[in-house]
Structure formats: structure tokens, C-alpha cells
Chains A and B, each alone.
Chain A
Amino acid sequence: MLLAKIKEALNSLYEDVQEAPEETPETPETEVTVEETSPEAQAEKSKSGEQEAGPEAEAAAEPPPPPGPREKDYTKKGYHLDVDLPPEKVVAAAEILNRENFFIEAITGVDWIDEQQLEVVYDFNHFAQLCRVVIRSRLDRNNPEIPTISHIYQGANWHERETHDFFGIIFTGHPNLEPLLLPEDADFHPLLKDFKA
């Protein structure tokens, strides 16, 4: 139940993703649009949106695998919902999860050096029902920036600092992005694959 509900709520974010490149490249008002649309309207929008997006995605050079949150086999993977989002949508996703009373389990990174990308992975879980949601976002490896969610989930503060320590990912708007686990003058990021001790 919770899984279906959160999947639908998160699906609304993909509407903006597909529409955004045509009209406004950067949409800071995404949170507002999410709140205004009722669940029914979102469902309708998502149906029509997917139909529209199909040809467009094919026209583009690399068609992303069907957009939207993907359900995973829990027994094999250990989580239920896998959500790929562009960095600017992560805050809106965190707000949706916060409204549904999810708690944050961890934030971490993965260095995909072959693709010149850094991935940020957010693990969310729920106290009342078993529902693990993974939010991920790919960043440019040479300019890794993503907005902070530490104003929504205060626990994210340390997780983001740790991810900054290890990968050099910059969480814009973070109140105190100082080294936490590494020495205070550390200028290296040990979990990058090209890190040499």
C-alpha cells in the first residue's frame, strides 16, 4: 500500500523531468507543483506523460530505460523502489518522502570513473511498514554538485559531510560542509577510484 502510494507520488517528479527541457531548463518551483497536484491528477498526468515521452525519448540519442520509479525484487536486491532522478529533483523527492514519514538511513556515493560520473545514493526506510526506497542521482564527475536535503532531514547533514569527505561531492546549501571523518585540512577524497595514497 505504502509502496504503491509512494511510487505514485514520486512518479509525479518525472513529469517535470520530461517537460523541463522544453520549457524551463531549471525549475526551482518543482516542489510547489508537486504539492498542488492531487494524486488523481498526478496519475492521469503520468499516463499521458509516458505516452508523450515515449517518442521523444527515442528521438533523443540515448533512450533512458522507462522513466519513473522502478520496483525491484526485494529478496534479491534488499530494497523495493529504485528511483533515478536528476540532481535538482532530489529535494522534491525528499520532501515527498518526508511527508510520508520515511526516515533516512544513509547517503553515499559511487564513483563511476569509466563514465566520468559520480552517483549519489540515498537510502530511505519506513518505521511502520517495510518499504525501502533508494533515490539515486548521477553527477558530472568534474563538477559534482547537488542540492542538500539537510534542511528536510537533519540526519542528512552528517551523511552529506561524509560523502563530501570521501568523494568531493558538493552539497550546495549545506550549512557546514567541513571534513567530518577526515582531518580538518584534508584536501583528498579517498573513495575516488583514481585516488592514490
Chain B
Amino acid sequence: MNGLLQQDVNQETFVLNLGPQHPATHGVLRVKLVMDGEYIVEAEPVLGYIHRMHEKMGENRTWAQFLPNCGRMDYLSALSYNHGYVAAVERAAGIEVPERAEYLRVITVELNRISSHLLWFGAFVLDLGGFTPLLYAFDDREQILDLLESVTGSRLTYCYFRFGGVYNDIDDSFITGTREFIKRLRRRLPMYDALVTKNIILIKRLKDIGPIAQDMARRYGATGPVARGSGINFDVRRHEPYSVYSEFDFDIPVYQEGDSMARYMVRMDEMEQSMRIIEQALDKLPDGPIMAAKPPKIIKPAKGDYYHAVEAARGSFGVRIVSDGSNSAYRLKLRSPTYSNLSLFDEASRGMLLPDALALMGSLDLVIPEIDR
């Protein structure tokens, strides 16, 4: 960085510190920017402000004791993280999950995905200077939080899944409540469309801003809406069907443009697809137990390593387990999607105006505790 500062007297650059406390970084992320006037020459994200070493905790606790940690990484789609971890341990220990439990997992995870996208929607538009949509989005998200609270017992840091099933069955009020919510959101989405998506200010802020080429997404390992906004048709739910996702009919929204608008559109479309999955799951919901008949009290997976990935709200969340056959993990690697998605920020933001780079950053949908882990 010093070299850059000294190389040319005519091209004066300066270092601008963005964060760690900055509304646009949504948490404690710091970005060291080398600026040429209003243009970015180099951007270096500085991570680790809320690093808690979850992976070490995974080695120090039993398999079950680590469950609550999952909800504290990606706190906006905690159930996806629950799902990834539980599914990885189930694969390692060979635990069968009853069908009804898998359906409940899908229903709650997809509700959680919608709530995550709604919060992103509000916060993203807030980044761009529009305050009102945040209030609308929070109003809708509140309904989901109430629904999930009635089943899981918590509103944000869910710990609902267990090895071999889920902790609590749903009741009729949850089913009717969910159907009503879907009706409600279907009325609201056209309003968002008219109020925000078709808004000329938003379009001017996002169209052709922060293009991410397919190859760049691949080299950095970007997944989720970031990859799908760059024309990559990759969704773990379809690509590597886990749980009961293969039984539902849903589309994977893919946009070719690669700009911030494309990533915005992917998430807006995904909400409708999640609602379709939930509707089908509620229609087909089988009866039966919600826990495996005899889940082992003490889980001791066979020696070896195992991998399981799920599609979290922000991309592919992977869990790599190395077991030595004992009651806790020998090594627990948590592959968080935003970590990879953010790593392309330096290359993607070069030459951009600072306010445009903030639009790009918002379109990556960052959750800092998940990056830092």
C-alpha cells in the first residue's frame, strides 16, 4: 500500500477508513480504501472484529452442545446454519430423519430465508438513502418472527433442529398463520415492486453498478444470489438436493447481467419461490413422528471426514466434520458463504465511485458474524 502511495506524485492517493462502525457495513466490518479522489484504487476489507472462534468451540463441546452456536453465526438465517450442521452430523453418524421432520425443516428454513431477504431488502434500500421500505419490510418480517417464535421458541437465534428431527411439532395455528402470511406477502410484493424496484432512483443507483463477471465469481468461490446474479445457475437445493427439496417444484432465479440490480432481482424473486416451496410443503405435509425413533443419546460418528452443504440465504454453507470417533468433533470447519462473497470486493470495487461501491457492498448481503465466525 505504501508503494502505491509513493509511486506517482501526479496521481495523489489517500487512504480512507470505512468502518468498523459505519451504517453501510452492517456490523463491525472495516474497509481500508485507497482513494484517488472519489474513485477507489484499492479496497482491503479488515475482518475479525467479532471473531469468536466457533470452530474451536466445536472441538471443545459435544456434538449437541454446539447446536446453539449455529444460530449465532448467520443470525439472519439461523435455521439454514442449524440445518447444515445437523445434516452433516446426521450424515456422519448415520441418523435417519423422519419425513415429517424434514418437511418441518424445509418450511421453517424457507420462512427464515424470506425473513432474511426482507431484512436485506429494507437495509439495502436504506443504504441507498430510502428510509421508508425498511419500515414496510420490518412489518412483514415481524409476522415471520411471530410464526417462528411459536414453533421454535425464539425470534432470532433459533436452535430448532435436533439430530434425528426437530424439537417441536407445528400446530394448526402455525399452518393457518403461515398461509395467511403468504397471502399477505403476495399482496405486498407488487407494492414493493412499484414502490422500490421500478423506482428510477433505485434503478440508477444499481443498474450496471458493480458488475461481477461469471469467471470472477468462480475464481472467488462466490455462491448464492451473488453467483446467480452473474448468470451462474447454482443453487445447492437443486444442484445437490438434500432433505426433501427434490420433492418440490420451484425455480432458481438467475440473472445474466452481474450488476447490483441483478443481485437485487434474484433475492426479490427468491422470496416468491420460497413461498411456493412452503405452500407445497404444507399441502403435502405427512403425518408421523418428528424425531427419529431411537436417536442415539451420545453421538459418536465413525472415524473419518464428512461434508455437507446447504443453501443458506447467502449462498452455500458447508460443514466439514473430522471425527475421531469420540463425543465431540476432532475438527469442525464451517464454510460460510459471505466470506467468499466478500473476498471479491477488492477486485470488483476497483475504479468505482465510493457511493457505488457501497451499493455493491449492500448487494453482497453481508452478515459480519458469519464472516468472522
Is A154 engaged at the interface, CB distance under 8 Å to the other chain? yes
The answer to whether A123 and B320 have CB atoms under 8 Å apart is yes
Q: Which of B218, B239, B344, B372 contacts A181 (CB 8 A)?
A: B372
Given contacts A110-B322, A123-B320, contact A103 B221 (CB under 8 A): yes
Complex formed: what's the CA distance from A111 to B333 in Å? Answer: 12
Is B237 engaged at the interface, CB distance under 8 Å to the other chain? no
Given contacts A103-B218, A182-B51, contact A155 B304 (CB under 8 A): no
Main secondary structure of the interface of B (DSSP, over half): mixed
Is B38 engaged at the interface, CB distance under 8 Å to the other chain? no
The answer to whether A78 and B308 have CB atoms under 8 Å apart is yes
Is A121 engaged at the interface, CB distance under 8 Å to the other chain? yes
1/0 contact string of A112-129 vs chain B (CB within 8 Å): 000000000101010100
Q: Which residues of A contact B220 (CB under 8 A)?
A: 153-155
The answer to whether B320 and A155 have CB atoms under 8 Å apart is no
Given contacts A180-B47, A181-B47, contact A127 B305 (CB under 8 A): no
Least CB distance from A121 to B in Å reads 7
Is A191 engaged at the interface, CB distance under 8 Å to the other chain? yes
Q: With CB as the reference atom, state the residue of chain B lying closest to A127.
A: B234
1/0 contact string of B89-130 vs chain A (CB within 8 Å): 001001000000000000000000000000000000000000
Is B240 engaged at the interface, CB distance under 8 Å to the other chain? yes
Q: With CB as the reference atom, state the residue of chain A lying closest to B87.
A: A78
Is B178 engaged at the interface, CB distance under 8 Å to the other chain? no
The answer to whether B219 and A110 have CB atoms under 8 Å apart is no
Is B53 engaged at the interface, CB distance under 8 Å to the other chain? yes
Is B318 engaged at the interface, CB distance under 8 Å to the other chain? yes
Q: Which of B48, B221, B240 contacts A179 (CB 8 A)?
A: B48
1/0 contact string of B192-222 vs chain A (CB within 8 Å): 0000000000000000000000000111111
The answer to whether B305 and A105 have CB atoms under 8 Å apart is no
Complex formed: what's the CA distance from A108 to B59 in Å? Answer: 15
Q: Which residues of A contact B322 (CB under 8 A)?
A: 110
Q: Which residues of A contact B51 (CB under 8 A)?
A: 181-182
Q: Which residues of A contact B162 (CB under 8 A)?
A: none
Q: Which of B53, B218, B335 contacts A127 (CB 8 A)?
A: B218
Residues of chain B from 233 to 289 with CB closer than 8 A to chain A in the complex: 233-234, 239-240
A-B contact pairs, 14 of them (CB 8 A): A76-B306, A77-B307, A105-B221, A106-B333, A106-B335, A110-B330, A125-B309, A134-B307, A154-B219, A154-B344, A155-B221, A155-B344, A181-B51, A190-B53
Known: A106-B333, A154-B344. 7 other contacts (CB 8 A): A78-B309, A101-B218, A106-B320, A130-B239, A155-B344, A158-B340, A190-B56
